[in-house]
Every structure is written in structure tokens, then in C-alpha cells.
Amino acid sequence: MLNGQTVADFMKEEMTAKVAVLKEKGITPCLATILVGDDPSSETYVRMKGNACARIGVHSIKVVLPAETTTEQLIQEITKLNEDVSVHGILLQHPVPHHIDERAAFDAISIEKDVDGVTTLGFALNAFGVAAFPSCTPQAIIRILDFYNVPIEGKHAVVIGRSPILGKPVSAMLLNRNATVTTCHSKTVNLEEIVKSGDIVIAAVGKPNFVKGSWIKPGAVVIDAGYNKGNIGDVDYSSCLTPSSAITPVPGGVGPVTIATLIEHTIKSASMQSEKTS
């Protein structure tokens, strides 16, 4: 089992040490989260991120805006946080209410503070393999593979899902690590056959227990990025456990590493901003 909590605990130790060094210089890394509306799952995610920051000594501030907030008002709030030198990372919790232009709001986040890797510029820089903060869940997936010494180069990676925050960026990151990548989506024909040819299978579909054990090539590594109601992943864990050589659980797989990655990016952003000003 590829235990994500073990990876997150390892990262926590590294991060705590880095925060102590920054605090000696009078800097406390700070993550600002923006929540628009009152979606209970989003509230939970934002609270979990705030609690995880506190455990590592990272300051977090929460901006809560009513569901009627317009795109312009949201962008104004983001601009204020961009200009606030005490804020090192900005996270706009997805999804925002339908009437808001989410892409415009994401793109209003300055690249230096885009610790969640949601801007168009950040996405492009990452696709080119140039330093920027990658989207957190894709980065967490790569982190887990590296932590457990899963070889990526030359392997056939099958990614199920092509969302801008998950499927697409993780496909680009695997390609940059010299995997041969097939990205599947809802219009893919013969999905099962394609998954069967994968050495590494990444499930990012948003459908509970979607990937079945009979689709998995013996010895393949299975990463479940899914998180559905009731703590259920996108992979049918019990049937995939036997054919796979390694598999992430849900919960306790990609999730904790995603949160740790967000905080790691905030700390890195604080270090980079302190180097610029010193």
C-alpha cells in the first residue's frame, strides 16, 4: 500500500524545520483561503487546510464571501491579497457559484502566490517544465511515486480524467518525467483496454469505485486521486488490490499529500519572497 499519510508526515518534519528558520528571520508563512458561498464540502476542505497549516506553524487567514459575490468583487478581494505582503499563498476554493467566471478569478491570482497551481500561466509554465507551483494534487501524485521509488521513465502511464486541475497537469508532469502518457476522458473508446495496458494508472474521474480490478494489468501501480462522498475513491480498491503491485488507499492516499503540498508551496513562496526583499 502506498500510504500517503507516511509521505505527508515526512513532509511535515521538513516543513516544520523550514518554518522555524523563516520565523527566526521574522517571517511567518501565510496562506489566504477564499471561500465563496456556503457549500458544506468546500467549508470542510478549507477548514482542513487551515488546521493543517496550524499544525506546521503556518498562519492562515480565511476570507468568506457571500454566494451573491460577483466576479468583479471576487477579483477585488484577490487583488487585495496579491498586494498584501504578509500573504504568501492564495487559494480560491473550487467550485465557486456558477454565475462567477472562475477562470477569470483564478487568473487574477498573482503567479508568485499561486500556490495551488490554478492560473493559466502556472499551468503553462508547468507544462513546459519551468519552475512554478504545480497544481497540488498532480504534484502529490508525483511525490508519492517518487517517495516509494516507483519508476516513471519509459513506463506507460494511463490517466483517466483531463480536468485542468488534475488530469491534464498530471499528464504533462508524467510526460516531463519521460513516461509515455495516455490521457482518457468521457469520450474515450475502449477505456478498459487502454487501462489494461497501463504500468501506472491514475484515476481522476470523480466516480466512486469506477476503476475495476479486471482492468488492471498484473503488477501495475494504481493511484487513486478520487474523493467522493463517504470517503470513497475512484478506484474499486478491493478488486484492484490483487492485480496491482502497489496502490493508494482512500482515505489516507493522495489526499493528505495534496494538503501537505499546498503548505509546502506556501512555505516556499514565503522563502522566495523573503530572498527577494533581503
Q: Which residue is nearest to ligand NAP (CB)?
A: 163
C-beta closer to ligand NAP: residue 207 or 268: 207
Kindly list the residues in this chain that would bind ligand NAP in the complex (CB under 6 A).
137, 160-163, 165-167, 184-188, 191, 204-207, 225-228, 234, 254-255, 258
Contacts for 137 with CB less than 8 Å, ≥ 6 apart: 165, 166, 170, 204, 225, 254, 258, 261
Q: Check: CB of residue 105 under 8 Å from CB of residue 44.
A: no
Rounded Cα distance between 141 and 137, Å, is 6
Contacts for 209 with CB less than 8 Å, ≥ 6 apart: 232, 233, 234, 235, 236, 237
Tell me the closest approach of the beta carbon of residue 185 to ligand NAP, in angstroms: 4
Instruction: Pick the catalytic residue from 113, 114, 116, 139.
Output: 116
C-beta closer to ligand NAP: residue 27 or 194: 194
Query: Taking the C-alpha atoms of 63, 29, 20 and 15 in order, what is their torsion angle to the nearest 10 degrees?
Result: 90
Q: Is 102 exposed, middle or buried (0-12, 13-18, 19+ CB in 10 A)?
A: middle
**Rounded to the nearest 5 degrees, what angle is found at the Cα of 227, between the Cα atoms of 46 and 256?**
60
C-beta closer to ligand NAP: residue 134 or 167: 167
Annotated binding site for NADP(+): 161-163
156 forms bridges with which residues in the sheet?
Answer: 180
Half-sphere exposure at residue 134, Cβ-oriented, CA atoms within 13 angstroms: 26
Q: Is 80 a catalytic residue?
A: no
Rounded Cα distance between 8 and 2, Å, is 12
Tell me the closest approach of the beta carbon of residue 153 to ligand NAP, in angstroms: 25
Q: Is 93 a catalytic residue?
A: yes
Q: Check: CB of residue 182 under 8 Å from CB of residue 157.
A: yes
Annotated binding site: 161-163
Q: For residue 174, what is its C-alpha cell? A: 508524467
Q: Is 49 a catalytic residue?
A: yes
Tell me the closest approach of the beta carbon of residue 228 to ligand NAP, in angstroms: 5
C-beta closer to ligand NAP: residue 77 or 224: 224
Tell me the closest approach of the beta carbon of residue 85 to ligand NAP, in angstroms: 29
C-beta closer to ligand NAP: residue 58 or 118: 118
Q: Check: CB of residue 223 under 8 Å from CB of residue 144.
A: yes
Tell me the closest approach of the beta carbon of residue 241 to ligand NAP, in angstroms: 19
Residues that are catalytic = 49, 93, 116
